[in-house]
Structure 1
Amino acid sequence: MSRIQATFQALQTQGKKGLITFMTAGDPEPEWTVQLMHVLADNGADVIELGIPFSDPMADGPVIQRASERALAKGVNLPQVLTYVSEFRRTNAHTPIVLMGYANPIERMGLDMFTQCAAEAGVDGALIVDYPIEECEGFVKSMRTHCLDPIFLLAPTSTDERILAVARVATGYLYYVSLIGVTGAGSLDIEAVGARIPALRAAAKLPIGVGFGIRDAKSARAIASVADAVVIGSAIVQCLEENTFPDRGSEKAFQSLTEFMTDIRNALDE
């Protein structure tokens, strides 16, 4: 049983909703990355999505775009991201890590090399935004060879045929995009999200995480009423961005992230 599967089974047994968190590797400071991953895990994150910095993150809004730019400017690349995961695994063997990013860095490394190195580092899955389901046969095969979960996005515009196509190959969980647009944009329509969930459940026997537009405890709790997990990314990256000061070290950023995570976790557990 994979770490992702075990995590969601435990949540179901406990009657709890999952919290999937996103942060960009290397941001706001490369040397903080592993510590920040532990802050997330120690304060209620059930799964950590670790963003691979990329120069043209087309699905991401300005908050995550800036994070990628900062990380790239400090030399953070895919091999370094895998090093962060290896270091995290020295003291945390249970929290699933999902790499999230774009195809270019993976293609440059080589798909089979990527999946092998990811598995060796302790990665559990990957969500590569621009590996479309119609062209992902090699990606899925390589992931499965190394016992990694291929995770895919579904959106309000996804047709029934596309949902079924994703359901045939996805493992781990489904990531449902709550709105049409980029990360951190738009406003949530809980009723619309709830109306789409039954079709996803009918197609795939996987947990459903909902992301894009979840920014606080109130919106997280609302989404948790219709989904198995909430995915929070831009709000976390923005929290770090707003609380990082060149002359003050990491204390303020870590404290602010801890407080943010506590609020979200408490809201989900109420």
Structure 2
Amino acid sequence: MTAGDRIDAALAQDRAALVAYLSAGYPDLDGSVRAAEVAVEHGADVIELGLPYSDPGMDGTVVQRSGERALAAGTRTREVLLAVEQVAATGAAVLVMTYYNPVYAYGVERFAADLASAGGAGLITPDLVPEEAGRWSAAADEHGLDKVFLVAPASSDERLRTVASASRGFVYVASRMGVTGVQDSLAEGGDELVARTRAAGADRACVGIGVSNRQQAARVAAYADGVIVGSALIQALGEGDAAGLDALGALTAELAQGVREGRA
């Protein structure tokens, strides 16, 4: 199941897709799998599993701390692939969000083959630009994996065309410059950036960075194909105990309602 398939299925229901980010290995490996299952049960269409990395330049404090905890617990690329296999069994499309160095260290072709074998949909690579992604793009094409690249408010029209042409699944539209994290208000201009990204040739545009509640999800869903939420879900999960899983499920359900309201 590709991310594009899941997004298209949501759009066929006249709504945006809900894309939920969780850190693989947080609070531990089994706990991260259970958290992803809860998110799917409560309305997430696509799951992003973050591969913990020691130098996460785009990640805000919440995601960084969850990744540090996962690394300290011994979560590495092999364990993330095991988590992908278990979460993919839910029927959700499962993307790995990762900086490129762990993929390179593991072996690009080997990573693509193992991710496909695990039932993964593909990769989101925040620090990899299409011009430097030749090996990954070739390996992803060989195994039918999504290639999700990012655009930002400062992206030129030429950059948007390059990213749209190189991406498969969707283009990740970062609605503001800077790192991820919960925001009290959404950045202005997200709708314009999505429109520019579509005009550049993107089949699907999903928006992230800052969405944390039902009202924000509805606002973004009015113009985007998918709404990406991460830090707010990890905050809700807390320590991953029963109360945390309940809070995660409740927030996911609230966000799922929001993406349905956005096109109403």
Common fold by TM > 0.5? yes
Say which of 248, 251, 258 aligns to 1:257.
248
TM-score (norm 2): 0.94
Segment of structure 1 superposing worse, 28-37 or 229-238: 28-37
Aligned to 2:93: 96
Aligned to 1:210: 207
**Could you tell me how far 1:185 is from its partner in structure 2?**
5.9
1:185-239 Cα distance to aligned partner (Å, 9 max, x none): 654134x111222211111241111000111111111111121111001111111
Aligned-pair identity in percent equals 34
Aligned to 1:47: 46
Segment of structure 1 superposing worse, 219-228 or 19-28: 219-228
Separation (CA, whole Å) in 1 of partners of 2:222 and 2:13: 16
Aligned to 2:260: 269
Q: Which runs of 4 or more aligned residues in structure 1 lie more than 3 Å from their structure 2 counterparts after TM superposition?
A: none
1:113 aligns with 2:104: no
AA in 1 matched with 2:241:
S
Q: CA RMSD in A?
A: 1.4
DSSP 3-state at the match of 2:257: helix
Aligned to 2:29: 30
Segment of structure 1 superposing worse, 78-87 or 198-207: 198-207
Aligned to 2:151: 154
1:65 aligns with 2:64: yes
1:39-58 Cα distance to aligned partner (Å, 9 max, x none): 11111101001000001100
Say which of 230, 234, 256 aligns to 2:231.
234
Contact kept, 8 Å, 2:172 with 2:206, in 1: the verdict is yes
Separation (CA, whole Å) in 2 of partners of 1:185 and 1:199: 25
Separation (CA, whole Å) in 1 of partners of 2:87 and 2:12: 27
DSSP 3-state at the match of 1:183: coil
Contact kept, 8 Å, 2:21 with 2:229, in 1: the verdict is yes
Contact kept, 8 Å, 2:171 with 2:202, in 1: the verdict is no
Aligned to 1:83: 82
DSSP 3-state at the match of 1:131: coil
Count of residue correspondences: 260
Separation (CA, whole Å) in 2 of partners of 1:113 and 1:7: 26
Distance 1:185 1:239, change over 3 A: closer
Separation (CA, whole Å) in 2 of partners of 1:174 and 1:162: 12
DSSP 3-state at the match of 1:196: helix
AA in 2 matched with 1:165:
T
1:114-149 Cα distance to aligned partner (Å, 9 max, x none): 000000001101011221222111111111111101
Contact kept, 8 Å, 2:164 with 2:201, in 1: the verdict is yes
Aligned to 1:6: 5
1:188 aligns with 2:186: yes
**Could you tell me how far 1:250 is from its partner in structure 2?**
2.0
Separation (CA, whole Å) in 1 of partners of 2:2 and 2:146: 10
Contact kept, 8 Å, 2:2 with 2:145, in 1: the verdict is no
DSSP 3-state at the match of 1:53: coil
Segment of structure 1 superposing worse, 203-212 or 110-119: 203-212
AA in 2 matched with 1:251:
A
Separation (CA, whole Å) in 2 of partners of 1:258 and 1:29: 18
DSSP 3-state at the match of 2:228: strand
AA in 1 matched with 2:84:
V
Contact kept, 8 Å, 2:6 with 2:45, in 1: the verdict is yes
Unaligned runs of 5+ in 2: none
DSSP 3-state at the match of 2:124: strand
Unaligned runs of 5+ in 1: none
